Amino acid sequence: MATEITALPKLYIGIDIHKKSWSIHIRTDISDHKNFTVPSEPSVVYDYVNRHFPGYEVALTYEAGCCGFSAARFLCRWAGRLRW
């Protein structure tokens, strides 16, 4: 009997966006993963998730103020893997 995948693992990302850096918190559906700060470049988060969590369903939330418009556009392009 073959094993069938019935649910994707889940990844939750919270981002606090500032002009020069972003504070990131990542957790999976079973545990906390990591808190870290990255330069304010959306591709850094995208590359990290693709490297460490391939195949995960991603839920993302962010707080940005006036610095988040370019991040929002990038994240919308990433929406194929995101759950809004």
Q: Tens digits of per-residue pLDDT, 1-45?
A: 788 777 888 999 999 988 889 999 999 988 888 899 999 888 888
Name the E strands within 1-84. Answer: 10-17, 21-28, 32-39, 57-63, 82-83
- Residue 84, pLDDT score: 44
Is 25 a domain residue? yes
Q: Regarding predicted confidence, which is higher, 10 or 79?
A: 10
The pLDDT assigned to 52 comes to 92
29 in any annotated domain: yes
- Pairing mode, strands 57-63 and 82-83: parallel
Helices 42-52, 69-77: inter-axial angle, 10-degree rounding: 30
Count of domains forming the chain: 1
In a domain? residue 60: no
User: φ and ψ at 9, to 5 degrees?
Assistant: -65, 150
* Distance from C-alpha of 2 to C-alpha of 27, rounded to nearest angstrom: 30
Query: For residue 44, is it within any domain?
Result: no
What is the phi-psi region of residue 49: left when phi exceeds 0, alpha when psi lies from -120 to 50, beta otherwise? Answer: alpha
Domain hosting residue 32, numbered range: 12-39
Decide: pTM greater than 0.85: no
